[in-house]
Amino acid sequence: MASSSTSSIQRKSFRYDVFLSFRGEDTRTNFVDHLYDALKRQGIDTYKDDKNLEKGKKISKELIQAIEESRFHVIVFSKNYASSSWCLDELVKIMECQKRPTEQTVYPIFYHVEPTHIRKQSGEFGKAFAKLENDEAAKKWKEAMIEATSLSGRELRTTADGHEADFIKLVVTDISLKLPLVSADENLVGMRTPVNDVVSSLNVVPNEVCMIGIWGMGGGGKTTLARAVFDQICSQLEGLKSLQQQVLRDVFKRQDIFINGVLEGKKEMKKKVHGIKVLVVLDDVDHIDQLKALAGERNWFKKGSVIIITTRDEQVLRSHDVEPIQVNLLSNEEALLLFCMNAFGTEIPVQGYGELSREVVSYAAGLPLTITVLGSHLRGRSTCGWKGVLESLKRMPKKEVVDILELSYAGLEDNIKDIFLDVACMSLNYSVYFVVVFLESCGHFEARCGLDVLKEKSLITISKDGEEVVMHDQIIEMGRNIVRRPHRKEPQKHSHLWETLEIEHILANDLGTEATECIRHFALELSSKLFMKGLRKMKKLRCLLTYTEYRFSGDWEFDEVTEYIPNSLQYLLWGYYPFSSLPKTFKANNLVALLMVDSEIEQLWGGGEKKILKKLKYLSFENSKLKSLDLGMTPNLVSLNLGGSRDLVELLFPEDLGLLEYLEELILSECTVLRDIPNCICKMKRLRYFHLGGCVAVEKLPEELGRLECLKVLNIQGTNIRHLPQSIFELKGLRIVGF
């Protein structure tokens, strides 16, 4: 990845945005002069030969260099263009640059001539060329003219009804959209496509009031994009900066207020803007009331006006009937380019800093704010200094970044803040289903609503297929920083623990406290006594995610010291659980989810105990050594996964099957010694998913399986079932796999 990223951005640095090629006697003091002025006003650095260098017979080295150092070549074909060998040599040079693997673009303009006249050297253009037609360079001139006319450009005769002023505006817009924006402002790296998309969307409804909503996470480039769009279109509209400030002062309750209330501000807005076509940028709007005060109705504004709104909250836009345009994070290539421009003032890393640069970019994960801050912060430092900064970043993100990111968090309700911290600190970049199960198990009963709010606030994203929850690395670090901040040097007082060394230090030294609510700990290498003993003081622990590697299983044995798991636990995920049952001291009265994948567990409780887990909804002993399970001890299950439990002989059902009325998912795949599927399964009215795939000993299904009215998927692939009960064909919408 490193090599491809580096090579792809080793692009040519251009001195000029645009090189103008034109015939002086036709256009220098009129069309080209106006075009040059319009380009300069748009901030486009343009080369125009005003020195009448055509005195010589050949174009000068200065002109050749200007052509090579320009990103965009505008060729103004006019009636007498071909009468100048100088112009034609310029054209040949320009077309040579076009063939090179650079980012140079040719844009032909046909000024009072038609493309076919240039291509065939006919009409007035042909008469001008006739004077040079016998020149030894004529062949390459003709080839260059043919090539140039095949490229996309504009013809005055067929555009804007021939009005030069309007024609020039269109030409400047074309060039602005096609030029990369990095030439004017390094912070605009990666903005070319989104700017084009936004500006193009304005052309869809050119004579209506257009409200554009730019939405994304803090530091993601919303304001930069809005500013770039503003720069593109500001010359066509009137700005309202002073009026905007007046209303903002009132809305945000600033002390220097010049109007007497929001209602008066609204009236003032409608009165002042109704008759003029305006461009208004409302940056960082975080509440619908602010938007209503600043741009309450489209009829406040004259048709053709544009209102650009940036926000971290998608719902603010949708509530105002504005379709959000989401700002995407930078690609690896764009991120490296932006970082290098801030760190080195170049487009590629300087020698010796390549790997370090890519490490910084990887840490920033496409967030423009972080990349810019770090680039400026690291500029001029030695490689040793860089390594120190990178190491410290993993413990404490830069304040400039954190302050902006935390704005979204600060506006959340307390219950949504709790959901956010659980997702961030437990690194829940998993399926939506998994995350919802986790959150609901931990007492967040509004989990799905909470995820929707986090998405609207740009604190998480949901994958395009709607299946995965994704939180940006910088957002995760921001959440973890919030947890660390009150007791940065005392992790035992943190509500969430995720750092391996910190956790092992706390457990090994018996430093646990009631402050700890969640632990996420993999690659556990502590002895059983230290691990279990270290948990005993964590009396408010509600969530434990841990994996015990098989190589340590020999040390794991229950005794009066070690068999301790906090009774407060609501969610327990323990991969490679090393014991044959749950410890007898564990009451598990609060347990909602018990997930023990690849475990040594053989039975739920040892010694013949039958503790009822009334709150347990999600149970997974996937790939375990479970031999038998009495479902009477788990009466309120929603999901049961025993897939891969090759020692499972039987499932024991309670006499009162009403106790299992909530069961929706039953997975028994690859339970190779399981033979019988009891008839009582047919009484589970909510069962939707029944997986028997790979149960090679199963030969028949219960005759009354058709009573399962909610059943949607039945997987019998790899079983010895040869006949299906007749009743099953009465089920509508059932999909049978493997028959």
Report residue 364 CA to chain centroid gap: 13
Asked whether 715 and 694 are in contact (CB, 8 A), the reply is: no
Q: Which residues contact 443 (CB under 8 A, 6 or more apart)?
A: 542, 570
The Cα–Cα gap between 322 and 458 comes to 17
Q: Which residue is listed with tokens 């891969």?
A: 644
> What string of DSSP letters covers 3-63?
HHHHHHT-PPPPSEEEEEE--HHHHTTTHHHHHHHHHHHTT--EE---S-GGGSSS--HHH
Q: Which of 156, 132, 135, 142 is nearest to 80 (CA)?
A: 132
* Torsions phi, psi for 667 (to 5 deg): -115, 115
Tokens of 675: 């033979």
Angle 265-268-274 from CA coordinates, rounded to 5°: 135
Based on the residue annotation, tell me whether 333 is a catalytic residue of this protein: no
Through-space distance between the first and last CA atoms of the chain, rounded to whole angstroms = 45
Locate 384 and state its tokens: 């040793």
* Rounded-to-integer distance, Cα 500 and Cα 65, Å: 59
Q: In the numeric block, which tokens belong to residue 683?
A: 């009484």
**What is d(CA 48, CA 71) in angstroms, rounded to the nearest whole number?**
14
Structure tokens at 487: 């007791």
Sign for the CA dihedral angle at 643, 648, 653, 654 comes to: negative
DSSP-derived 3-state class of residue 720: coil
Each as own residue / partner, the long-range contacts of residues 198-206 (CB below 8 Å, 24 or more positions apart, any chain) are: 198/225, 198/229, 198/325, 199/173, 199/229, 199/232, 199/233, 201/325, 202/233, 202/306, 206/304
Encoded tokens for 143: 């080839």
Q: How far is CA 151 from the centre of its chain?
A: 36
Q: Contact at 8 Å (CB) between 685 and 658? A: no
CA separation for the pair 548, 597 (Å, rounded): 11
Q: Which of 54, 90, 147, 186 is catalytic?
A: 90
Apex CA 500: angle with CA 495 and CA 503, to 5°? 45
Strand segments, DSSP code E, in 144-296 are 154-155, 210-215, 238-239, 278-282
Type of residue found at 79: K
* CA within 13 Å, CB half, 364: 31
Q: Is 469:493 a contact under the CB 8 Å cutoff?
A: no
Contact 118, 109 (CB under 8 A): no
How far is it, in rounded angstroms, from Cα 704 to Cα 324? 51
User: What's the longest Cα–Cα distance across the chain?
Assistant: 109
Beta bridge partners of 546: 521, 574
Structure tokens at 58: 């050949």
Give the single-character DSSP code of 309: E
CA distance 368 to 345: 16
- Contact partners, residue 241, CB within 8 Å, separation at least 6: none
Residues noted as catalytic:
90
